[in-house]
Structure 1
Amino acid sequence: MTATVSINAISNAQHWEGKSYLNTAAEGLPLLSAVDAVQEYLFDKTHGEPGRVQFWHRYERAKELAGELFSVDADQIALISSTTEALNTIANSIDWRPGDEVVFTSSEFPSNIFPWVTLQKRGVKLRIVHPGADGVSVDELLEQINERTRLVTVSQVSYATGQRIDPAPIWRRVKDTETLLCVDATQAAARVPIDGQMADFTVASAFKWMNSIHGAAVMSVSRRVLAQDVVGPAGWLSTENCFADDRLEAFHPRGDAQRFQAGMPNFDSIYSLAAALEFHTPDAVAARAKTMAPLVSSLRASLVEMGLTPLVPESEASQAGIVPFAYNGSAEMKKQLAERGIFVQGDDRRIRAALHWYNTEEDVQRYLGALRELIDESQLPTAPLAGSRR
């Protein structure tokens, strides 16, 4: 990784000189400003209860900036601890009825599978769409939606294949019905543009592409959900007035997205998130996505030339930052690449590279050169996995 003005925005940038970090989809490198913000939180914390003035100031700023990134108003933003918490909160906030159905894909991260799988004991039916040769078909997703569909949930960018899906056609299908749409934007937010107006719920963790730290995630909530009797967790933060005279008899949820937050926010993470979102403005994200697109496409094409099987579709419109390929010896390959100063993900018989704004052509060429050497040495098969649908 070549040290540039841009990479110097990353904390401990000197550690990555001469190395290629291509694993943002697993763990993003924190911005220097995000790390400094945590120190500011700790300083404010030393002021005791009066320090809370600054806590809530950063909280409101983070909501404002998150609203801009998600293309919604600040009152439609909830700040929770993780995408997993958000998805479970959504699952537990819906009044499920026996016979209701959930539509999702088999290439979702487990956090976007398990909450729906557990609903089967309540009589909820699952409709699962599998990726084909060109990835997940939006048309097939639309075909699974019927009058019993209560929720459709899909990743804007798949952690497994890197495929980028436009939620707009699904939103157009459901927005005037009782079907809700949830978009997991964890692998999209701060890497490519996202639009919270195209879903009822859009969720994303901050420790990956947003270059923040663990403990904060963003969830946007549609106006139509906020107008419905969809109640999140019951806590002092999610109610209109935690000291209401009738608090022993009734719970009154807030009218904004904060109804999905039960208690004290993770202010240290929120300080970091606010700083990261100052860096990841919508215009900056769009510009970086455009700049990075040729590098992503070039990496995919190079893998094909090497006889490997990329899992991300060939169409640039279906790409974001993740470029994985099927490989039976992925765990060992990941280890050997790391020994050469190249960091990727290597689980589930896939090698997954993730390109973010701090990655360069030099990073990619170093990675490709090492791949060629290791594949020649290993003699491991590079064909698609037996029985794999993608």
Structure 2
Amino acid sequence: MFQSRAARPLINEEYWHGKCYLNTAAEGLPLKACAQAVNRYLDDKSRGEPGRVRFWNEYERARRGAARLFSVPVDQIALVSSTTEALNTIAHAIDWRAGDEVVFTSVEFPSNIFPWVTLQERGVRLRIVHPGTSGVSVDEILEQINSRTRLVTVSQVSYATGQHIDPHPIWERVRNSETLLCVDATQAAARVPVDGRLADFTIASAFKWMNSIHGAAILSVSERALNGQLKGPAGWLSTASCFAADRLEQFHPRTDAQRYQAGMPNFDSVYALAAALDVHTPESVEFYQSALAPLVNRLCDGLSEMGLKVLVPSMAESRAGIVPFAWSEATQLRQQLAASDVFVQGDDGRIRAAIHWYNTLEHVERYLSVLKELLAGSHHRQLENAACSA
């Protein structure tokens, strides 16, 4: 059942009163329930080894919540420390051969680029899809897939452009082949529906749209990947039998997704994640997607009316919660906005706003108003400088 805004209090609501926070895509504001969960962890930790019973109870609760959010069975869920850890684990799990290929887009977060770039040392080839005027084309991704493709990896929502990509056509293309599909859902999970059944690996960090803390990420693993020959890390948690009689001779991996967890989970983060997933359910996510769409559209329209180059595609199905526009002096403009208590991301030649459940139309209008004033002042200074130079 969906919870009202009042039933989802933030830790520092008093601090944000009167301010405009539009930067969830960088750092989500944490729920009070997550702070309370961390305090429960500390209380359980103070009980020493007997407290571990509660550790593992919360761990399983978090896995159940993650399975519900991603629409997969619990045995297909692992809890890792970060999306970056999961991507590197996947990169090392595959037995790469010279001539193998990886397909990804140029607008992936660096964590979903660097593991594949380094594989070139092993003879792996990269096929990189660049966005066009309407964003990344799924058809172009499909065109890059061939018999040598070992992995396709793509963000469901791009951190750079905000484009929302439906992984279903890619999954239909590869599901009956030897090509694996990895979906980075960090900028999608808890904001738009994420379906772990449409990829071999679906990953999302918890500290952004899930409003939790650092140190936990969800990794779902498909049945075919679990039944394949992929290797996970070798550790006490990833083994089927920690004290097997032949443990000095060979390693026996688990048969479920926890094969991809080497050792002790970050239990403080797991407690917080379990609490966050009580709030972020499939029902609440569907509500966010519908209720916040008018705010996203208003922001896109407002930026376009100022003559700014909006990077997110115009099609409604290609929009989620991120709305960036191109701006060469992004860091300076971000600082100017922050001085007016409007908080967005500004780097890599763009200004990026992110709209989540705690944002309102008033926030959007305030951002547009402050931005318009700053850009008008910048234009006026440019004219003055040009006049002085003349």
Asked whether the two chains share a fold, i.e. TM above 0.5, the reply is yes
Secondary structure in 2 matching 1:75: helix
CA distance in 1, matches of 2:289, 2:17: 23
Amino acid at match of 2:219: M
Asked whether the equivalents of residues 5 and 357 of structure 2 are also in contact (C-alpha less than 8 Å), the reply is no
1:1-390 pair list within 5 angstroms: 5-6=5-6, 9-379=9-379
Number of residue pairs aligned between Structure 1 and Structure 2: 379
- 1:385 alignment partner in structure 2: none
- Distance 1:221-1:364 versus aligned 2 partners, 3 A rule: same
Amino acid at match of 2:50: P
Amino acid at match of 2:231: V
Asked whether the equivalents of residues 20 and 343 of structure 1 are also in contact (C-alpha less than 8 Å), the reply is yes
RMSD: 1.3
Asked whether the equivalents of residues 64 and 74 of structure 1 are also in contact (C-alpha less than 8 Å), the reply is yes
Asked whether the equivalents of residues 234 and 262 of structure 1 are also in contact (C-alpha less than 8 Å), the reply is yes
- Distance 1:285-1:145 versus aligned 2 partners, 3 A rule: same
Secondary structure in 2 matching 1:66: helix
CA distance in 1, matches of 2:9, 2:233: 37
Asked whether the equivalents of residues 155 and 165 of structure 1 are also in contact (C-alpha less than 8 Å), the reply is yes
Secondary structure in 1 matching 2:323: strand
1:164-187 deviations in whole A, cap 9, x for unaligned? 000000000000000000000000
Structure 1 residue 349: Cα displacement? 1.2
CA distance in 2, matches of 1:195, 1:275: 21
CA distance in 2, matches of 1:33, 1:91: 34
Range that drifts further, 123-132 or 8-17: 8-17
Secondary structure in 1 matching 2:202: strand
1:369-388 deviations in whole A, cap 9, x for unaligned? 0000000111299xxxxxxx
CA distance in 1, matches of 2:212, 2:303: 30
Runs of 4+ in 1 over 4 A off after TM superposition: none
Amino acid at match of 1:262: A
Asked whether the equivalents of residues 7 and 358 of structure 1 are also in contact (C-alpha less than 8 Å), the reply is no
Structure 1 residue 6: Cα displacement? 3.4
- 1:384 alignment partner in structure 2: none
Runs (5+) with no aligned partner, structure 2: 382-390
Structure 1 residue 288: Cα displacement? 1.3
CA distance in 2, matches of 1:73, 1:136: 31
1:217-252 deviations in whole A, cap 9, x for unaligned? 000000000111111100000000111000000000
Secondary structure in 2 matching 1:379: helix
- TM-score normalised according to structure 1 size: 0.96
Asked whether the equivalents of residues 8 and 279 of structure 2 are also in contact (C-alpha less than 8 Å), the reply is no
- TM-score normalised according to structure 2 size: 0.96
CA distance in 1, matches of 2:366, 2:302: 13
Amino acid at match of 1:175: R
Amino acid at match of 2:150: R
CA distance in 1, matches of 2:161, 2:63: 30
- Distance 1:198-1:380 versus aligned 2 partners, 3 A rule: farther
Structure 1 residue 102: Cα displacement? 0.1
- Distance 1:7-1:347 versus aligned 2 partners, 3 A rule: farther
Secondary structure in 1 matching 2:346: coil
Secondary structure in 1 matching 2:345: coil
CA distance in 2, matches of 1:189, 1:179: 24
CA distance in 2, matches of 1:380, 1:262: 58
CA distance in 1, matches of 2:160, 2:380: 21
CA distance in 2, matches of 1:179, 1:228: 12
Structure 1 residue 298: Cα displacement? 1.2
CA distance in 1, matches of 2:362, 2:6: 15
- Distance 1:92-1:184 versus aligned 2 partners, 3 A rule: same
Asked whether the equivalents of residues 5 and 358 of structure 2 are also in contact (C-alpha less than 8 Å), the reply is no
Secondary structure in 2 matching 1:268: helix
CA distance in 2, matches of 1:289, 1:91: 32
- Distance 1:302-1:362 versus aligned 2 partners, 3 A rule: same
Amino acid at match of 2:95: D
